[in-house]
Amino acid sequence: MSIFAPDIWGFHAGACLFAGALAWSLGLALHRGLRISHAARSYWLVVWALAILPTLLAVAFHGFASAGASWSLPMPLPLPSVAELGGWSNGLEAPWQDAAEPLGARAWQEPLLLMLYVAGAGLAALRWGRGMLAVRCIVRASSPVVPAALPGPLSAMEWQRLHRLGIELRATTRQVSPFALCWPRRAIIIPAALAARLEDRQLQMVLRHEASHLARHDPQRAALMRLVSVVFWFNPFLGLIERRVQVAAELCCDAAAAGVEPEARHVYARAYLEALRLSAGSQMPSPVAAFSRHDPGSHRLRIRHMVQGDARRRLALPWRIALLALALVAGGAVAAVQIGTVTPGRDQAGIDEAAAGPRAAVVSVVAPVRREAAAPEATAGVSARPAIGFRFPVTAPRVSSRYGAEGGPYTRPHRGIDFAAARGTPVYAPADASVVAATTRYPDGPNYGTVVVLDHGGGWQSLHAHLDGFDVQVGQRVAAGTQIGRAGTTGKVTGPHLHMELLLDGQRVDPEPLLR
């Protein structure tokens, strides 16, 4: 199935929410129980990865499986013989003939899901783009700062250090929090009003704080996390974890700026409060502030760390290894469940003669059909009769899975041939035939999806499965090359394609040598 098929999309979206909730609750519980430092940025980065990696791995596996090959049913299914067609010639309705092909829920569910997802992601991207545009405007309106404009030798010395590192210092008239950016060039933007209010040592610490963000690649990390939040806009837990990572990053940079001396930490705390007062007086919210003015908890936490230091523990290496192993086990379990839903061996519905039920027995009474019990290789040459000429059912055919191919340890050899085809690709009759079945409810074969079965005479029959729709009806005579349907993703598949089978006297044969 395509990634936007309702059941696949719904399962992955639910699993993403579950992984986010698991990561957030588990990370928060361990953080409190072990009294881990709020400045443990790597800890919260692992929690964030636990929230997204299972879904990313599952979706990547799903996309790889869809692009690489398509697997069809591992279990053999009977085909109706031509004698059954005569059983319905007296006006009786065929057991698997639809009176009219309904549009179906899938026809509108997939576009609706796609529209909802694109709309949500578009709104999230729009908010991000507005912030980036505002930052761009601030940077373009800013002006370079020269050492002579700084309040003293300490800040001038810091300016020289930044210049050697290739970091430009610029001033803005906007009343925003100081911030650092890495693109299009590395720079630190500081409000001119704040630089005028701060003492020489305080300004040096503020510049050192922003330079620490650049040294730790925090702007790149924040952009990556924001991009992921846009993709997974429906998962609120990612935003909670992202804020924790940002808090930890700010605390790390605060420690790098203030040092360990108590007197220096108090000086830096006063500078931080001055920056808060300046940004609070602005009539417009800052697009680059680490925290909003409505986030007092994070401000109190930072001030407490500046003044009192960090009383919580830093994890030793054995603890880090143990927590990383726990994250890998939890994430691997969630990813395995998601991947299991699209693994070819898990796609079968367990169709066999025991599950066929009374309905199959009724069909057998009308016209018994032999079911092959041997492997495809044993049935490839079941008859010495010359084959009629079969055409390829699609134009520009590209085989994605051949007859007898092994699908994996949980599947049996492939019972037909798969042609890679985009959804909606016309499917043509391979030879002159009578339509035996054209239905969305093929008996004993829900994994086949929408099916058209043709009887070509001489004991030859062909089945065309996973169609997006059919253009024929039971009893209709079709010539070779007549369009009978459209390739699709109905039934149990990993991507859009056409599955074709050929039977001779009820036994499957390899179609590929007979197609031209």
Comparing C-alpha atoms, which of 508, 501, 514, 512 is closest to residue 378?
508
Residues 156 and 294 in one domain: yes
Range of the domain at 31: 6-64+319-342
Q: What is the spatial order of strands in the sheet that 168-172 belongs to? A: 143-144, 168-172, 187-191, 179-181
Residues 225 and 262 in one domain: yes
pLDDT, tens digit only, all 516 positions of the chain? 455 556 667 777 888 899 999 999 999 999 999 999 999 999 999 999 999 988 888 877 766 655 443 333 333 345 444 333 333 333 334 444 444 444 444 556 667 888 888 999 999 999 999 989 999 999 999 999 999 999 999 999 999 999 999 999 999 998 888 999 998 899 999 999 999 999 999 999 999 999 999 999 999 999 999 999 999 999 999 999 999 999 999 999 999 999 888 899 999 999 999 988 887 765 555 555 544 445 778 889 999 999 988 888 888 888 888 888 988 888 888 888 777 655 443 333 333 333 333 333 333 323 333 333 334 443 444 445 555 789 999 998 888 888 877 654 445 677 789 998 988 999 999 999 999 989 887 765 667 889 999 999 888 999 999 999 899 999 899 999 999 999 998 888 878 899 999 988 888 888 888 888
Residues 89 and 121 in one domain: no
Q: Is residue 427 part of a domain?
A: yes
3-state secondary structure of 287: coil
Residues 363 and 454 in one domain: yes
Residues 81 and 29 in one domain: no
Q: Is residue 13 part of a domain?
A: yes
Q: How many residues are listed for the chain in this entry?
A: 516
Residue type, 96: W
Read off the CATH number of the domain in which 442 is found: 2.70.70.10
Residues 397 and 304 in one domain: no
Q: Is residue 231 part of a domain?
A: yes
Q: Is residue 174 part of a domain?
A: yes
**Which pTM was predicted?**
0.64
Residues 387 and 473 in one domain: yes
Q: Is residue 58 part of a domain?
A: yes
Residues 365 and 410 in one domain: yes
Take residue 3 and report the two structure tokens written for it. Answer: 């990634």
3-state secondary structure of 444: coil
Q: Is residue 187 part of a domain?
A: yes
Task: Please check whether residue 47 is in contact with residue 83, taking contact to mean a CB–CB distance below 8 angstroms.
Answer: no
Q: Is residue 111 part of a domain?
A: no
Q: Give the count of domains, the chain.
A: 3
**429 DSSP 8-state letter:** -
Task: Please check whether residue 237 is in contact with residue 20, taking contact to mean a CB–CB distance below 8 angstroms.
Answer: yes
Residues 368 and 436 in one domain: yes
Q: Is residue 265 part of a domain?
A: yes
Residues 164 and 303 in one domain: yes
The rounded Cα 41 to chain-centroid distance in angstroms is 25
pLDDT of residue 266: 93
Comparing C-alpha atoms, which of 124, 172, 173, 131 is closest to residue 286?
131
Residues 42 and 138 in one domain: no
Residues 388 and 266 in one domain: no
